């Protein structure tokens, strides 16, 4: 029997860590032996859903990301309970973001939320995971993605513990930020000059 068609999707395992600033995060990463793989790069994300919110209501996500000249379409499944954010993730490159958006809209999906950030990816030797530095309109975050043990060890090396872990999406963090600021949520985007 051909089992390749029945493989489970890859799992994303990650945590976010709130940091004071991009400079402080770079210092923590450098002390832990991480090296940046590129300059900070602008990233635009568009989240799609049905008009009834079928994906969001079941904790699933359909996202189109534009980053460093690539368009990536991603589906994320229902998160598993636990200390780390663990969920099925399927993604692939699209030849053109605008065309991919038109396809999604033709299938009945609508833009529900847009969010932007400046992202830098960091690696350390042959580690099984990686770190990213996200500079967003609502603050600066480190993300550690990899096996749970690696996440815990790496976070501890940088002075964090499980109580510092954030497993919320940027959409939820943005809505919480707006609630705290008593402002109406729209999209998590940078102010245009």
Please give the chain's pLDDT, 193 residues, in tens: 444 444 445 899 999 999 999 999 999 999 999 999 999 999 999 999 999 999 999 999 999 999 999 999 999 999 999 999 999 999 999 999 999 999 999 999 999 999 999 999 999 999 999 999 999 999 999 999 999 999 999 999 999 999 999 999 999 999 999 999 999 999 999 998 7
Q: Which residue has the tokens 């038109």?
A: 102
Residue 190 falls inside a structural domain: no
Distance CA 46, CA 187 (A): 10
In a domain? residue 136: yes
Q: Which domain holds residue 146?
A: 9-181
Residue at 186 is within a domain: no
CA–CA dist 171, 47 (Å, integer): 9
Indicate whether 191 belongs to any domain.
Answer: no
What is the pTM assigned to this prediction? 0.92
In a domain, 192, yes or no: no
Residue 123 placed within a domain: yes
Residue 184: CA count within 13 A, CB half-sphere = 1
Residue at 188 is within a domain? no
CATH number at residue 116: 2.40.320.10
Evaluate whether residue 143 is within a structural domain. Answer: yes
How many independent structural domains does the chain possess?
Answer: 1
């Amino acid at each position: 029997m051909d089992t390749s068609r029945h493989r489970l999707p890859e799992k994303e395992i990650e945590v976010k860590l709130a940091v004071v600033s991009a400079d402080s995060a770079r210092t923590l990463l450098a002390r832990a032996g991480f090296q940046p793989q590129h300059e900070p790069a602008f990233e635009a994300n568009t989240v799609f859903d049905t008009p009834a919110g079928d994906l969001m209501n079941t904790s699933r996500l359909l996202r189109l990301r534009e980053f460093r000249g690539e368009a990536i379409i991603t589906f994320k499944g229902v998160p598993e309970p636990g200390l780390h954010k663990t969920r099925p993730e399927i993604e692939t490159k699209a030849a053109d973001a605008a065309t991919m958006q038109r396809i999604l809209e033709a299938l009945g999906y609508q833009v529900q939320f847009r969010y932007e950030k400046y992202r830098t990816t960091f690696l350390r030797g042959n580690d099984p995971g990686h770190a990213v530095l996200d500079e967003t309109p609502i603050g600066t975050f480190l993300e550690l993605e990899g096996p749970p043990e690696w996440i815990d060890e790496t976070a501890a090396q940088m002075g964090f513990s499980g109580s510092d872990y954030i497993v919320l999406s940027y959409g939820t963090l943005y809505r919480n930020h707006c609630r705290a600021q008593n402002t109406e949520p729209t999209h998590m985007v940078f102010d245009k000059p």
